[in-house]
Amino acid sequence: MTGSLKSRKKDIKFSISELADELDISTRAIRFYEEKGLISPERTKGNHRIYNKRDRTRLKLILRGKRLGYSLDEISEMIGMADFDMDEEKQLKRAYAYGKKKLKEIDSRMEELEILKQDLLTVQEKILKRLKELGLIPPE
């Protein structure tokens, strides 16, 4: 009984609209990821796409990667689609390297934004001071 229940869970299938609704993306986006080779749904005799749990998991990983700012090429490599001979160790090391690179980019952007913020605050202070000098804003 447990084996048949396990195999039924494994055989769960999804339509493109079910996945789009669940993941809050368009069916067009799902077809795009298929065109890029990131997922490979089965087809019915009527040529309708049928997605399995693996496709669903891959879509979730793709969306997470996009949210984190990775390119589709980077996502493809991290989920092992670019190199079919990639073993788990190689895949994990590559994902880790991409993560380190992304963190450096984020740190750099944060530094740039902090500098921009300070510049804007300085300009705001100068503008406020001049408005007060002109009598357009009463002194505090």
Give the tens place of pLDDT for each residue, 55-107: 999 899 899 999 988 899 888 888 766 555 667 788 788 888 888 998 999 99
Where b means 16+ CB within 10 Å and e means fewer, 3-13 reads eeeeeeeeeee
Contact 62, 38 (CB under 8 A): yes
Cβ 72 vs Cβ 38: under 8 Å = yes
pLDDT at 87: 74
Domain count across the chain: 1
| Residue 31's CATH number | 1.10.1660.10
Give the global pTM: 0.63
| pLDDT at residue 9 greater than cutoff 80 | no
**Cα angle for residues 23, 10, 2 (degrees, 5° grid):** 135
**pLDDT at 140 exceeding the cut of 80:** no
The verdict on residue 15 lying in a domain is yes
Q: Is residue 53 included in any domain, yes or no?
A: yes
Say which residue, 86 or 7, is predicted with more confidence: 86
Task: Identify whether 23 is part of a domain.
Answer: yes
Q: Is residue 21 part of a domain?
A: yes
Is residue 77 one of the residues assigned to a domain? no
Q: Are 51 and 14 in contact (CB under 8 A)?
A: yes
CA distance 43 to 31: 13
On whether the CB atoms of residues 68 and 57 are closer than 8 A, the answer is: no
The C-alpha angle 15, 21, 24, rounded to 5 degrees, equals 130
Does residue 33 lie in a domain region?
yes
Domain that holds residue 23: 1-71
pLDDT at position 1 is 46
Q: Does residue 67 belong to any structural domain of this protein? A: yes
Is residue 83 included in any domain, yes or no?
A: no
